[in-house]
Structure 1
Amino acid sequence: MADTGGQAMHGEYKVIGGKLVVADLSVTDGRLADVRISGDFFLEPDEALGDITAALEGMAATADAVTLAAAIRRALRPDAMLMGFSPEAVAIAVRRALGVARSWRDYEWQVLDGIQTPAMHLALDDVLAREVAAGRRGPTLRFWQWDRPAIIIGNFQSVQNEVDMAACARLGVQVVRRVTGGGAMFVEPGSTITWSLYAPADLVADMDFGASYAFLDAWALKALNDMGIDAVYKPLNDIASSRGKIGGAAQKRYAGGAVLHHVTMAYDMDADKMMQVLRIGREKLSDKGIASAAKRVDPVRSQTGLERAEVMARMKATFTDLHGGSDGQVTPAELAAAEELAATKFTTDGWLHRLP
């Protein structure tokens, strides 16, 4: 970080579900100077704001977010109460002022959409994330369209514990394993809304896993709220409403610098069929907001009254309004790489039954 000779630098960070934190500062001899922290947060006692700025004054401009947050924590008086923000939030605002922490608008996003087989969707996730990590593709949002019913189990789940394979064969439901952790998903064409974000690691570099989930889902929550759904983020990885769980997210971090973050939400799901193919306990059923086997799980359809295509169109519009983005497409090389990966990994028994 070069010295700014007293020139003011400005950074902002909006805490997901919290308040705005603003950092104004300069850099002199490689150190933070003239630090001012402001925002619409709550802080008691008033003098604690001085503790925060004093902790930052003179810190190395190259300090990472963990170091900055730790310095703030050490400096805060014991009775300090931070409401709507945290030392980590202040650190992110400082690093944004320094130009070393990124925000959504620092990138040119592409938005993709298309129908594929379940194995191809999983293969595309891996291929596109690696392309972003390698710098050959810009950050991307991709919506999935399903060509058949499927169960997608988490990377670390047991097939026999999660899936009734005989029922799947009888009902024509394909079973595949993804590269991310988390629980099993049952999908049918037209029943779910699924998307993936392939984001540079720099976008969430100063956040722990929990904060990154909330951060990467915030645009979707706004879209759902704007459509009349009382959607909220439920740690660690769920999107929920007063009627129960709407969807769940999963992540994978790639060497070289990319984050795969994908989400599946229930639009209008056949709970009876889901219970036949998935081995779901009572506790998990309750978590999904399913009162009986005969009930359809339709939190998005019932709460919006909108067709699935319209919901997706509004979600895309919200994303581009907030973060920018233009229509893109999978390149022939990416498609060929995904086809090979689907054939050699995601459709094989060895991968599916890596955990019996």
Structure 2
Amino acid sequence: MTSFPSPAAIPEDDGGRRHGEYKVPGGKLIVADVEVVDGALAAVSISGDFFLEPDEALLDINRSLTGLPADTGAADLAAAVRAALPEDAVLFGFSADAVAVAVRRALAKATGWGDHHWNIIGPSVLPTHVNVALDELLTEEVGAGRRNPTLRFWDWEEPSVVIGSFQSVRNEVQPEGVSRHGISVVRRISGGGAMFMEAGNCITYSLYLPQTLVDGLSFADSYGFLDAWVMAALEKVGINAFYVPLNDIATDQGKIGGAAQKRLANGGMLHHVTMSYDIDADKMVEVLRIGKEKLSDKGTTSAKKRVDPLRRQTGLARAEIVAAMMEVFTERYAATPAELTEAELDAARERVQAKFGTQEWLHRVP
């Protein structure tokens, strides 16, 4: 099970030195050393390999945090830092928000990748409805502490369209194309757009994590933070990928994937990504309604040009790319192999019957 210090387990006023670190994605390392005295931050010392001008601004940052209640949220910590900085201050490689994350980690209110024991579940063929149900179930399990934070790769056989939680079936799919090609239409719990998925044409994975891992990060920043390992894996197979805000993954040849998230009330969080490998673009436009507004927003006039398969850019088999991704994640986060339990699979199938396979859920947005 996950092992990291819970906030409630740490004495509020022990006066002991607390240490937290945060590496800004694409930026610098921020280190926070603090004490808690009478419920407030004391002896605050921020350090790191960042750049800051003028030098005296570092003292301003430390003073701005000293005396704040130890349970101050990340947004208020960052606001205090920003308010204390002189107008001419230049922060390079970090930000007030990054300082807040480091402080929260020092207080065990936020966690880092290394604070968790990660599991990784390789792809196994399951019905798309079951894959979607597992996303909800395993997110709940991680939030409740019954399962370690986990990376799971999907696999499936039946052609499917998976629509976002807030999308309208009527507005997103072409009934004639769905019927002609035998497409299953499934609604997931996260927002975002529709995904056209045939066996072997996409790479899809889900991360189940505690929200403490993204404490202090904006929604926008959390996407790139959670997928930094993916960028490294793609680089390993010869692809220079980057995020296009909010949730698209692209290369200089076009979009290759998109991410979506869902945060649950019990503290669990789902972050999942689908990347195109070898999509039949002709069939896709027969199945999905891809409007002119969406195309123009992506800077293209053709739906086919938006699909830029990984197969063409890498020349590798889909299994080889998945293997590279699993290898990078394992090396970075010391992840250990795991499997879905029979109890989890049974519970997911029950959710298909009760929720994800019902017309009420599928058509909950008219």
User: For this structure pair, what is the TM-score category when the shorter chain's length is used for normalisation?
Assistant: over 0.9
- Aligned identity (percent) is 58
Correspondence for 1:64 among 52, 61, 73: 73
Would the aligned equivalents of 1:244 and 1:289 in 2 still touch at CA under 8 Å? no
Deviation track 1:43-80 (CA, whole Å, cap 9, x = no partner) reads 23332222111212333333332222121111111222
Match of 1:234 among 244, 248, 254: 244
- C-alpha separation in 1, matches of 2:241 and 2:352: 34
Cα distance, 1:207–1:304 mapped onto 2, change above 3 Å: same
The code of the aligned residue for 1:109 comes to W
2:273 pairs, out of 263, 277, 281, with 263
The answer as to whether partners of 1:271 and 1:290 remain within 8 angstroms in 2 is: no
Task: Using the TM superposition, give the Cα deviation of residue 293 of structure 1 relative to its aligned residue in structure 2, in angstroms.
Answer: 6.4
The aligned residue for residue 111 of structure 1 is 120
Contact 1:148 1:189 in 2 (8 A): yes
Equivalent position amino acid for 1:343 in 2: Q
- 1:129 corresponds to which of 116, 125, 139: 139
Of 309, 327, 331, the match for 1:321: 331
Q: Please state how far the C-alpha of 1:288 moved relative to its aligned partner.
A: 6.4
CA shift, 1:220, in A, is 1.0
Q: Which moved more, 1:260-269 or 1:59-68?
A: 59-68
Deviations 1:235-264 (A, max 9, x none): 211111111111111111112110011110
Query: What is aligned with 1:86?
Result: 95
CA distance in 2, matches of 1:88, 1:107: 22
What SS does structure 1 have at the residue aligned with 2:47? strand
Residue of structure 1 in register with 2:160 after alignment:
150
* SS of corresponding position for 2:46: strand
Three-state SS of the structure 2 residue aligned to 1:269 is coil
The residue that corresponds to 1:98 in the other structure is: 107
Q: SS of the residue aligned with 2:274?
A: strand
Pick closer, same or farther for the CA change 1:286–1:33 going to 2, 3 Å. same
1:3 CA drift (Å): 4.5
Root mean square deviation, CA, Å: 2.1
Partner Cα distance (1:289, 1:248) in 2: 16
- Which segments of 5 or more consecutive residues in structure 2 lack a partner in the other structure? 1-10
Task: Look up the match of 1:353.
Answer: 363
CA contact (8 A) 1:269 1:296 kept: no
Amino acid at match of 1:218: A
TM-score under structure 1 normalisation? 0.93
| Mean Cα deviation higher: 148-157 or 207-216 | 207-216
Matched, 1:182 2:180: no
**CA apart distance, 1:137:** 1.5
Do the aligned residues in 2 keep the contact of 1:221 with 1:233 (CA within 8 Å)? no
Q: Deviation of residue 29 (structure 1)?
A: 4.3
Paired residue for 1:13, among 1, 11, 22? 22
Which range is displaced more, 31-40 or 115-124? 31-40
Q: Aligned to 2:235, what secondary structure does the other structure show? A: helix
Q: Which amino acid aligns with 2:77?
A: L
- What is the deviation of 1:214? 1.9
Tell me how far apart the structure 1 counterparts of residues 299 and 312 of structure 2 sit (CA, whole Å).
14
CA contact (8 A) 1:8 1:25 kept: yes
Q: 2:171 aligns with which of 154, 161, 167?
A: 161
- The equivalent position to 2:48 in structure 1, one of 39, 53, 57, is 39
Structure 1's 296 and 203: CA in aligned 2 closer, same or farther, altered over 3 A? closer
Give the match's secondary structure for 2:140: helix
The one-letter code matched in structure 2 to 1:23 is A
CA distance in 1, matches of 2:354, 2:33: 52
Structure 1 residue matching 2:32: 3-state secondary structure: strand
Kindly provide the CA deviation profile for residues 86-122 of structure 1, in whole angstroms up to 9, marking residues without a partner as x. Answer: 1110011122223332111211111113111111111
Q: Secondary structure at the match of 1:245?
A: strand
Shift of 1:9: 3.5
Distance 2:12 2:186 in 1: 50
CA 197–2 in structure 1, closer or farther in 2 if over 3 Å, else same: same
Quick one: structure 1 residues 83 and 166, their matched pair in 2 at CA, closer, same or farther if it must change by over 3 Å?
Answer: same
Q: 1:244·1:288 contact (CA, 8 Å) conserved in 2?
A: no
What amino acid maps onto 2:162 in structure 1? I
Structure 1 counterpart of 2:271, which letter?
A: H
Task: Kindly indicate whether the alpha-carbon contact (under 8 Å) linking 1:244 and 1:287 is maintained by their aligned counterparts in 2.
Answer: no
Give the equivalent residue in structure 2 for 1:140: 150
Residue 345 (structure 1) shift: 1.8
Give the letter aligned to residue 92 of structure 1: V
TM-score normalised to the size of structure 2?
Answer: 0.90
